[in-house]
A and B are shown apart, each in its own frame.
Chain A
Amino acid sequence: MRVTFHGRLADLLGRDLEVAVDTPCTVAALRSRMIETWPQMAQPLGDRRVRACVGNKLVPDDHPLDGTDDVEFLAPVSGG
């Protein structure tokens, strides 16, 4: 599944990456899978302020994902 990071999250693993995860799953399962693979993501991805976005809409952690979804994770915004 293709994952894109915005803001300071992109400092850790780069802006885009491909995550091997069994689908269908949820945003929460994707977070857990990434933390298993990259333990350094535990703190940033565990931050409740880090929101997921699918199809240009913010989605909750129980949002269902299939293999074709692109998922974005947004660091807390800086404002203008």
Chain B
Amino acid sequence: MSVTVRLEGDCLDPRAELGALLEAAAGDGAVVSFVGVARPKSTAGAGVDELVLDHHPTLTRKSLEDIALAAAERFPVSQVRVVHRCGRVPAGAPIVFAGASAVHRRAAFECADYLMDRLKTEAVFWKREVGEAGAVWIEPTDADYADNGRWG
């Protein structure tokens, strides 16, 4: 079992993260990864140039670690990998990589799903969309909370 968590201020390369996960997953039968990308439009339809993710010097990383460790405990997986951007993320650029590997596919799918549901509501970030509408603070949606509620 191995858990990797990183908070990146400048760049997130999903291909490199998937490559590292595949390499670490030698012997497993399933590797699942999710990449979250900054959308160029707000939910109201306004153009978004960038997403700005403010973070806390200690609590943000701890929240990522807590979520990754909980996922590793909950599912029969051998690798959990979470890499999250902070700072200014241009529209179209990756924000988060969440991946897992396991002997069988179901655990890897469920682990990645769980990671993202918790990250979307509980990760300690304060996000704002910057674009046509100025700077707009973003909070989790009702759908995000409902998704997270599925895991009990």
Interface on A for B, CB 8 Å cutoff? 6-8, 53, 56, 58, 72, 74-80
Q: Are A78 and B127 in contact (CB under 8 A)?
A: yes
* A56 CA / B124 CA spacing, docked (Å): 13
The residue from B64, B84, B124 contacting A77, defined by CB atoms under 8 A apart: B124
Q: Are B123 and A79 in contact (CB under 8 A)?
A: yes
Q: Are A77 and B137 in contact (CB under 8 A)?
A: no
Residues of chain A contacted by B139 (CB below 8 angstroms): 76, 78-79
Query: Can you name the residue of chain A whose Cβ is closest to the Cβ of B137?
Result: A8
Q: Are B59 and A56 in contact (CB under 8 A)?
A: yes
Tally chain B residues at the interface, Cβ within 8 Å: 25
27 contacts between A and B (CB under 8 A): A6-B54, A6-B56, A6-B126, A7-B126, A7-B137, A8-B126, A8-B137, A53-B56, A56-B59, A58-B59, A72-B56, A74-B56, A74-B124, A76-B139, A77-B123, A77-B124, A77-B126, A78-B53, A78-B126, A78-B137, A79-B120, A79-B122, A79-B127, A79-B140, A79-B144, A80-B36, A80-B123
Residues of chain A contacted by B56 (CB below 8 angstroms): 6, 53, 72, 74
Looking at chain B's contact residues, the main secondary structure is mixed
Q: How many A-B residue pairs have CB under 8 A?
A: 53
Query: Can you name the residue of chain B whose Cβ is closest to the Cβ of A11?
Result: B137
Query: Residue B114 at the A interface, CB < 8 A?
Result: no
Query: Residue B37 at the A interface, CB < 8 A?
Result: no
Query: Residue B48 at the A interface, CB < 8 A?
Result: no
Query: Can you name the residue of chain B whose Cβ is closest to the Cβ of A15?
Result: B54
Q: Are A80 and B125 in contact (CB under 8 A)?
A: yes
Query: Residue B111 at the A interface, CB < 8 A?
Result: no
1/0 contact string of B54-68 vs chain A (CB within 8 Å): 101111000010000
Report A27 CB to chain B, min CB distance, Å. Answer: 16
Report B112 CB to chain A, min CB distance, Å. Answer: 14
Residue among A7, A76, A78 with the highest chain B CB neighbour number at 10 A: A78
Query: Residue B31 at the A interface, CB < 8 A?
Result: no
Q: Are B59 and A80 in contact (CB under 8 A)?
A: no
